[in-house]
Every structure is written in structure tokens, then in C-alpha cells.
Amino acid sequence: MKKIGFLLFVMAIIPVALILSGCIAGGSNFLPVIYNLPSNWSYVNSITVGNNTVLLGGVLNNSSGAIGEYSLTTGFFSDLSGQMQSLHFQKVSSVTFANNTFYVAGYGSNEAIFASLNPLTNAFTPLSSYIPFNAGNFLSFNSISTDGTSILIGGSGSNTPLLIYNPSDPYTFTPLNAPYNFVVNSVSRGGNGYLVDGNIGNYYPAAVYLQNGTFEDLRTYLPLSTGVLGASGYNGQQFLIWSKNNSTFTWPNGYYQMLSFNPLTSSFNAISSTSFATDLSIPNNGISGSNGWFVVGGTLSYQPYLVKYNLTGNPIDLSSYLPNNTSNISSVFTDGNNIYIAGNYTNGTAFFEIVKGQL
């Protein structure tokens, strides 16, 4: 990949390196745009898009939460991590957008943290203190997703793994009575419901489908070899889920597998290892889907991994669009047209990239 580079310093906000790279894929020209994030950003855990703004959530080098906005209108990046210090995040695990507002979830010192962010004023509103006492004491919020109105929050360490927050009734959280308690690793909206997955103990899978307030326990439908479930995404028809194979009972050195799930039939399918290698490692926000396609990012044999996949044939390799010296992919997101990617270089510096028009 040839780079036609120039360095842009956004003096009014923070210096951000901007590199424009020209590539050709499938016979069409497009310009991936790569942004080198501030040097104190350790990594990005989650990406979402709303109000012509890309929101990135992660961790700073000093083990505090990182949050930043990139404007798709102006091309400026704003590091809001300093404004978030009063919320005491140690890690921003997941971000989403609903009702013209961003929502941010993660954890601090032995406590789960949830807040809203107004994209017009960049003002944070802490919300964790409004979680009702009967929900218990969450230690972390690991994943959030939305139907565009309410937000489903998945976590760990409490009486229940799940809460619903409805912004139309401010400061009101509703604990949900899941069929059993488990650690939530991923929450994905799709098929008029939510797929929620995770683990029971260190090795055993947990999976439920929540639709119209009713839970369906999916464990009996899982392939027998399935262990801990992680990243998931929905392509408009089915879910794609990354999992641990529990036959080895070793983490993280055992085998991994990819599953598809059809919410209409409550059926899982184990995808062949010829499509996804068994040593492929996917972060919790390493799968995103839209328009019949999935984007999958992670690490394979200590090399960065980026593909798109539509459940037929083999995945289409997109790693050539990554910047030189990429070490890993830490998060992906697609809005149905563009692909948004975050990762790290081999020197540890974090970056963010937009690959335009690829879905």
C-alpha cells in the first residue's frame, strides 16, 4: 500500500497525525484515512458513530478511561478524556449512540460506571448512582447495545447480569431477571431482540436471546465443543459469534471457533476452521455487521487480522488497507457503508482508521 502522506496538526484541539492512503480493492478506488491518536492513548476498546461524529472509548497509558470524538463534518479530533476524569473510569469498555446522545460504559475501582455524553456540548452526565439497590453491586459494565431508544447494559459481579436504561424516563434503570447469572462479554442488537453472551465460571458458555421482555436460554442449542463466548455482531440476518473451544480447558492457549446464530430458528452453526483459523483472537468489540456482511478484526498468529464475511465462502482479506507496522486490531465498527477500525502499531501507539465505501 503506497502512502501519499501529509501531517496535519489540529492546533485548536490536540495534535493528531493524519495520513491519507490510496488503495484499490475490487476494482474501485477509495481513500482510507488513518489518524494517529494522542501518545497517551494505550488502546481503543469500542467505536460507535452518531450525529456525524465517531466516538472512541478505551484506556490511557495511566490506566484511566479514554474517550475521544472525531467529527465527520470538520475532520477534527477532540480528546475528552480529561473532562471524564471526575467519573473515575479506569476503562471504557463499550460505547453506543441513541436519542442523539452517546452512552459510555466501563468500570473504575471495584465499580461499574455508566454515563451519557452530549455530542453538542461535550458534557458528561454520570448515571451509575441511579442503579437501584436491588440490582446489586456491579463490578463492571462490559458491553452495551441499543434499539435506538433504550440501552441494554451487560456486566458482571451483581445479582443480575443485565439492566435496561430508558432515556425517556431519565435516571431509571430496570434490572432484568435473566434465566441464570453469568458474566456478560457481548450484547448485540438484531432480529427484533438482543443476543447476550458470556461465560459461567471460567470455561462454560452463557447465551440468551432477549425479545419483547422474554428471555430464551440458548445453551441447549450450542455445539457441544463451545466454551466461553465473546465478540458478536449482527449483519441484518444472522449473528456471528467468536467463542472458545472448551475441549482443551486452557485459556488463552486453546482453540477458538466462530459460530453463526439465526434468531428466527434459534439455531447455531459452527463455521469451518478453513474460514476462520482456530488461533484467531478477537477482542470483545472485534465483530460488527450490516447489509449482509460482517467485519471481523483481531490478531492471527501475532499478526493483525481484518476481513469482511457474509457467511458464504471464505472471508475477504482487508488487512492490506491497514497502515504499515500495525500490530493488532482492538475494535471495529461499520455503519453499513464505511468501516471504522482501531488498533495499535508495533511501537504501541494507538491509531484509528476509516475505510470508506466497503460494505
Same structural domain, 53 and 169: yes
pLDDT in tens, 302-358: 999 999 999 998 999 999 999 999 999 999 999 999 999 999 999 999 999 999 987
C-alpha cell at 201: 465460571
pLDDT in tens, 155-170: 998 888 899 999 988 8
Does residue 234 lie within any of the structural domains?
yes
pLDDT at 47: 98
Same structural domain, 260 and 144: yes
- Mean pLDDT for 25-45 is 78
Same structural domain, 65 and 30: no
Task: Give the percent of the chain with pLDDT over 90.
Answer: 76
Does residue 357 lie within any of the structural domains?
no
pLDDT at 273: 84
pLDDT at 32: 82
Residue 185 pLDDT greater than 70, yes or no: yes
Among 306, 355, 309, CA closest to 54: 355
Does residue 358 lie within any of the structural domains?
no
pLDDT in tens, 197-216: 999 988 899 999 999 999 99
pLDDT at 159: 82
Same structural domain, 5 and 141: no
pLDDT at 17: 40
Same structural domain, 96 and 140: yes
pLDDT in tens, 283-311: 999 999 999 999 999 999 999 999 999 99
Residue 90 pLDDT level (bands cut at 50, 70, 90): very high
Structural domains of the chain, count = 2
pLDDT at 30: 53
Does residue 220 lie within any of the structural domains?
yes
| Residues of the domain holding 174 | 40-351
- Calculate the CA dihedral of residues 189, 190, 191, 193 and round it to 10 degrees: -10
Same structural domain, 45 and 27: no
pLDDT at 127: 96
Give the residue with greater pLDDT, 61 vs 244: 61
Residue 248 pLDDT level (bands cut at 50, 70, 90): low
Same structural domain, 321 and 265: yes
Does residue 94 lie within any of the structural domains?
yes
Does residue 356 lie within any of the structural domains?
no
Give the residue with greater pLDDT, 207 vs 134: 207
Which CATH number is 285's domain given? 2.120.10.80
Residue 10 pLDDT greater than 70, yes or no: no
Residue 182 pLDDT greater than 50, yes or no: yes
Give the residue with greater pLDDT, 59 vs 33: 59
pLDDT at 5: 36
Same structural domain, 7 and 143: no
Q: DSSP letter at 38? A: P
- The DSSP secondary structure of 147-184, one letter per residue, reads SSSSEEEEEESSS-SEEEE-TTSTT-EEE---SS--EE
Task: Give the percent of the chain with pLDDT over 70.
Answer: 89
Same structural domain, 85 and 119: yes
Residue 244 pLDDT level (bands cut at 50, 70, 90): confident
Residue 66 pLDDT greater than 70, yes or no: yes
Does residue 237 lie within any of the structural domains?
yes
Report the side by side order of strands in the sheet with 267-270.
226-234, 239-245, 256-262, 267-270
Residue 11 pLDDT level (bands cut at 50, 70, 90): very low
Residue 247 pLDDT level (bands cut at 50, 70, 90): low
Same structural domain, 172 and 249: yes
First to last CA, the chain: 20
Same structural domain, 195 and 214: yes
Tell me what percent of the chain is helix, strand and coil, each rounded to the nearest 5: 5, 55, 40
Same structural domain, 31 and 144: no
Whole-angstrom CA distances from 59 to 36, 62, 92, 157, 196 are 15, 8, 7, 21, 24
Does residue 184 lie within any of the structural domains?
yes
pLDDT in tens, 18-29: 443 333 333 344
Residue 250 pLDDT greater than 50, yes or no: no
